[in-house]
Structure 1
């Protein structure tokens, strides 16, 4: 893994307007899906991105790939600001940034043959046609473990794991530098998940790929990631090397997620104290002021309801371990109780 930064996000914001009215529609609010994310991805690494459903992971992925326009902030890829590029200017960037989608069933057009689906990148970018395109597509199918002779079959003729391999082949057609994997194994059986994860690891080594790997399964993220970023309600709350974060989570939300993660060792699972978060995830339409997590946080204090903490290295942590928390988790902390003095009070900091 290199220290060379391939992707840099600076205060990325993505809000979806809420409009009301029949004839004259006016904006009455916004869904704050991504609310100021700054992050770096180094060339050759796998950055895991985790968080609860609805925290903004997939929206952030689509901002990175510029499938969605940004509300504010910048996305810099390989030293180039791609935040405001036109569709024409984005064509060259799309050769370098590709995406593997979550649903292997919905991501493939059932009316088109697999060879055409995988060959689309070659056709769109005018790279190869005819027999040359067919040869390249069959090479890609062999690369991801599919039978090249099945070039003319339809997606319905393949299993879920095979369909995800088709999606992987399509994403790798143009030999991109960065691949964003949006929960690529969540819809698959456990045994098939392992096959796809091993395939991605082999392809990363062989093709020198950089991955942003999005998942809600922390055991999967631990297996594949070099570093992990934890997202809550549109904000990054902790970033660290995977081993460091799993051994020493400093944000109460990260600790709660890890306490719920499945482990293979039954003795370890029995000894682990489960941290149960009270209350529901606040609405991204009207998120809490200050730290977004404070209404559910067992360590919350009055300052948490009014001042958003910076994402920085806390005292005693490695420089690469960043936490956005006024009162990070310390050894011996009891996080199994309910929210602290600033938590669970709707009028406090809203």
Structure 2
């Protein structure tokens, strides 16, 4: 959303270092025994610089939203560290988390599910002021109405309920609530995916204007690759809990290096009919493996048209490859070369079962 930045410029606001988030699977009625774990986030390293927008893309279930909730402190991490302005927030006490959340807010995907239908809009937007004791009474009402006007809502609708607003207006309510304490970082978890296309543009342009006005930093999660290209300075592509590729936005879209990134981009819609006709679609075979029992080595190898024996045995590091721009890192033993076509090529390693084999537990 902000002017395109060169990797390495600017102060690091958020640093994600080797973060893992596993959810235990328990069976049994009286004595619940752990029989497996969902590897939602599995060793993620990311940097978010002050004032930039980092886009995160990937298929459903790749760990994008879980990572977002770890960054905002909504999920405790299994291991690893998340540093915000140099402070490790993963082990903060409740008092420390409360102060941290003044600087980090979240806009949720469902603009209606994230709002309490029994409460009036004024009290919903005013909650941050009440929780952090920064404004009360007439002062709180004045600041709430200023926020409503800022995001394009009528301040006179202060006493209405969420059901009296459209989907786009509800999302503006969520944006106003996130802005209440003037945070430094806002995590946008697919903030426009539930809205009509015309409303999506309005909300995205609103977020862009707010970033320019208040110097906000965004982590923007979305499925729409063209939208991510428009709003982001850098992009991280996730697959099955890991980052497959990360770089400045134009480096990823013009010269993708990971086969999974290339496949995602080949499936993106193109507005130019001539370009769409020339585009070569990369069709991935097989199913996404289960995050309960991820495959060994590179997690993409069962579906990858370039996979070889090394991919099964060795997990590729997320590093810069020869000829790539600074900050362009890829987790692939055999990255896509410029001009190389993967269209029509099938996975070179047989697909294994993606169903986890969980043990039986006596009741």
Tell me if both proteins adopt one fold, taking TM over 0.5 as the criterion: yes
Question: What's 2:72 paired with?
Answer: 65
Structure 1 residue 115 corresponds to structure 2 residue 122: yes
Match among 315, 321, 325 for residue 314 of structure 1: 321
Deviation per CA, 1:81-136: give whole Å up to 9, x if none. Answer: 10111222101000000000000010100100000000000000000000000000
Match among 200, 215, 235 for residue 193 of structure 1: 200
Contact 1:14 1:33 in 2 (8 A): yes
* CA distance in structure 2 between the aligned counterparts of 1:316 and 1:60, rounded to whole angstroms: 30
Match among 14, 36, 44 for residue 43 of structure 2: 36
Deviation per CA, 1:285-314: give whole Å up to 9, x if none. Answer: 000010000000000000000101011110
- The alignment partner of 1:17 has SS state of strand
Deviation per CA, 1:178-199: give whole Å up to 9, x if none. Answer: 0000000000000000000000
Question: What's 1:174 paired with?
Answer: 181
Match among 246, 258, 272 for residue 251 of structure 1: 258
- The alignment partner of 2:22 has SS state of strand
TM-score normalized by the length of structure 1: 0.97
Question: What's 2:171 paired with?
Answer: 164
Question: What's 1:11 paired with?
Answer: 18
Return the offset for 1:343. Answer: 4.8
Return the offset for 1:331. Answer: 2.7
* CA distance in structure 2 between the aligned counterparts of 1:337 and 1:305, rounded to whole angstroms: 22
* CA distance in structure 1 between the aligned counterparts of 2:26 and 2:348, rounded to whole angstroms: 36
Change in 2 beyond 3 A, CA 1:338/1:18: farther
* CA distance in structure 2 between the aligned counterparts of 1:146 and 1:11, rounded to whole angstroms: 41
* CA distance in structure 2 between the aligned counterparts of 1:337 and 1:14, rounded to whole angstroms: 36
Unaligned runs of 5+ in 1: none
Question: What's 1:104 paired with?
Answer: 111
Match among 336, 339, 343 for residue 343 of structure 2: 336
- Once structures 1 and 2 are overlaid, which stretch shifts more, 170-179 or 324-333? 324-333
Contact 2:304 2:348 in 1 (8 A): no
Question: What's 2:330 paired with?
Answer: 323
* CA distance in structure 2 between the aligned counterparts of 1:93 and 1:136, rounded to whole angstroms: 21
Aligned CA RMSD, in angstroms, stands at 1.3
Return the offset for 1:334. Answer: 3.2
Contact 1:76 1:82 in 2 (8 A): yes
Contact 1:58 1:182 in 2 (8 A): yes
Structure 1 residue 152 corresponds to structure 2 residue 159: yes
Match among 74, 81, 84 for residue 77 of structure 1: 84
- The alignment partner of 2:172 has SS state of helix
- Mapping of residues 232-311 of structure 1, within 5 Å: 232-311=239-318
* CA distance in structure 2 between the aligned counterparts of 1:4 and 1:104, rounded to whole angstroms: 32
TM-score normalized by the length of structure 2: 0.94
Deviation per CA, 1:126-183: give whole Å up to 9, x if none. Answer: 0000000000000000110101010000001100000000000000000000000000
Question: What's 1:56 paired with?
Answer: 63
Return the offset for 1:345. Answer: 4.5
Unaligned runs of 5+ in 2: 358-363
Return the offset for 1:327. Answer: 0.2
Structure 1 residue 138 corresponds to structure 2 residue 157: no
* CA distance in structure 2 between the aligned counterparts of 1:84 and 1:342, rounded to whole angstroms: 42
- The alignment partner of 2:76 has SS state of coil
Return the offset for 1:24. Answer: 0.9
- The alignment partner of 1:12 has SS state of strand
Structure 1 residue 127 corresponds to structure 2 residue 134: yes
* CA distance in structure 2 between the aligned counterparts of 1:294 and 1:343, rounded to whole angstroms: 9
Return the offset for 1:319. Answer: 1.7
